Amino acid sequence: MRDEPVLRLRVKLSADFAMGPGKADILDGIARTGSISAAGRALGMSYRRAWSLVEAMNAAFAAPVVETSRGGAEGGGARLSDTGEAVLALYRRMQEEALAATEGSRADMATMLGDLSDDA
């Protein structure tokens, strides 16, 4: 599952923080599942790591991207803040923009591939 996209981009936003596919996937997973642990499971990633990525993002942005709650009947959960929604939307948009902008170049490069590469 989750075959990696044709174009992966990693955006360096500051000296020690970058936004990449992994963090975007986590945001997406949390939005869909309502919890960090479920998102981690869905992505085949350990909870530890999923939580670490969330922590990194929350620390990097001015406002937290993920809001969490502990306890309760369901044990707790997590959801995207407005900032989180915006960050995810912007990352997706960047991906689309990059994909579209490089369409010609990628096609040109693809023509140079050998026959062994384009199967399967």
Partner DNA sequence: CATCGTTATGCATGGACAAACATAACGACG
Partner DNA sequence: CGTCGTTATGTTTGTCCATGCATAACGATG
Picked from DNA, a copy of itself, none, the partner binding residue 55 (CB below 5 to 8 A depending on kind) is DNA
In this chain, which of 55, 82, 97, 108 binds DNA, going by CB under 7 A?
55
Q: Report the DSSP beta bridge partners of residue 18.
A: 12
Q: Which bin fits 34, alpha (ψ -120 to 50), beta or left (φ > 0)?
A: left
Amino acid at 53: L
In this chain, which of 26, 27, 42, 54 binds DNA, going by CB under 7 A?
54
Using CA atoms, how far residue 89 sits from 50, 71, 79, 84, 100, in Å, is 19, 29, 15, 8, 17
DSSP 3-state of 20: coil
Name the token pair of 56: 């990194």
Name the token pair of 113: 């591939």
- The verdict on 4 binding a copy of itself (CB under 8 A) reads yes
In this chain, which of 38, 56, 86, 98 binds DNA, going by CB under 7 A?
38
Q: Report the DSSP beta bridge partners of residue 17.
A: 14
Please report, as residue ranges, which positions from 67 to 86 form the binding site for a copy of itself (by CB under 8 A). Answer: 83, 86
User: C-beta of 115: minimal distance to a copy of itself in Å?
Assistant: 7
The residues that touch a copy of itself, with contacts defined as CB under 8 A, are 4-17, 19, 59-63, 83, 86-87, 90-91, 93-94, 97-98, 100-102, 105-106, 108-110, 112-120
Q: Which residues bind DNA (CB under 7 A)?
A: 35-38, 44-49, 51-52, 54-55, 68-78
